[in-house]
Structure 1
Amino acid sequence: MVLFGAWIVGRARGLPRAATLILLMLACFGGGLAVAKLRAEAVAAPIAPADMKPTQLEGWVMDVDSPGQNGARIVVAPVRVRGLTPEATPERLRVTVKGTPPPPGAAIRVFGILNPPPPPASPGAYDFGRNAYFQGMGGTLFALGPTRAADLTPPPWRVRMVMKVNAVRYALAERIVARLGERTGGVAAAMTTGHETWIQSPDLDAMRDSGLAHILSISGLHMAVVGGFVFFAVRLLVAAWPWLALRVSGKKVAAIAGLIAVGTYLVISGSPPPAERAAVTASIAFLAV
């Protein structure tokens, strides 16, 4: 705020452009640091303590995460964790369960080992703990027994809305797999809804070894295909209808349709960071049109 104030005063007093430009750059840099700090404070949430004894978790399934080496993984909004007070209970936990993962919206009870988010395996390696912090995920739980149904009070409306959206995404992924088969449908579901649950390990290893695993990550390529296809299809349809083509701008109507398509795809994909960046870029292009 001081730097922005100095920039405004400097311009008002007629300082040289070089001086005001430096002040503006410093002010933007300071503003960026302030936004980063505010974001870090806004997402701060309780973290699971280390060295806890095996405990019982009751909560709502928010989403089905990508599968791990030891089983299926789900994201749970805990309601109760034995041994933790409500104030110390994390807002989200990633739980590795045995067998088929329960769908989003299910109320579950599971017994397992609770740990805080793991640190990097080596210096400079992937830091799951950092990403977990900004996702509000306060720990991981490894199930030691089967996942059972629980009788819980209704969750807050925000949690209900997220579960409903994720339930639609998961149901769509199941329909894709049922229609195309597990091998082809697993890849199609991952590129549509972001769920990699059905991708077989040999196929995933082959894509990693060939350098094509990034295709599974919904990002600019996918947004360009969806937004571009809708844009050109709608523009062609408007142009093919003379009465409409003489009364509206086909390019602008197509841009609005592309904007809606990009937003819808962003929600269906689960809004991973690469998809968010691509959606912002595509939205700017459509809004410019």
Structure 2
Amino acid sequence: MNIALIGLGSMGYNLAKNMVSKNYQVNAYEKNKLIVESINNDNIKNLCLLNSTKELIDKTPSPRIILLSLPANKIDECISDLINYLNPKDIIADLGNSLYLHSIEREKLLKDHNISFLGIGISGGPRGAKDGPAIMVGGSKSAWENVRCIFEDISAKIDNKSACCYFGSAGSGHFVKLIHNGIEYALMQGLAEISNILEHAYNMDNDLRAKKFEEILKTQSSSFLLKITSEIISAQNNNNQYFIDEVDNKIEQNGTGIWAIKAALELGVSIPSIYEA
């Protein structure tokens, strides 16, 4: 299966580096010239940058999968462009944070053109994309069977098991990612509140709070979020100042939190922790 990738932002580029590290050849297109210049300077083996969508498709013969690592509001425009160049049985995979309902609509559109669609949630951020993300898949089962080895190869591994799973029909992969993000927001809010209580009610400084989180890491309540929280709280710059004290204590969400709340309301499910976060 030949691989084409559109979008070389922080997620797309790190996914590309992950794939080439597993000996896959990746042809890619990125319209941002500054990003292209930076990547060309990196001189990544087996990553070939092309100058247009058409050239990307021409240089990536069938059978092929076209991976889209783009903002959610750019996916439909890209798919409309790709339809003009693709052959029946080609596969388009949306790797972005798309609303699951949109994935269902895209699968229907592409089915009319005999093109397969996969909606794939990727978790782990840029670092996970490079070192091994968790992968949540929905869409064409036959298409998935043709490309699953690629995603299993690049996914995170625990006890030799891949953190990569096919969940069912179109939309299911992005729905699972949606719920995953919502739970993650609740956990992050919980960790922030615990840190705040330890600081203001128990007068613990950054190092003491980090040690307290490290103690919890040794229990069954251990998690990746807890691990990076303990590291971030005590991290310092070259002037021995804590990074955590220099950053804004609020962060914007990418839309998946609100989508999770709306889905819960439609399904009649109570999610107070996610809502509060």
Larger Rg: 1
TM-score, normalisation: structure 2:
0.29
TM-score scaled by length of structure 1: 0.28
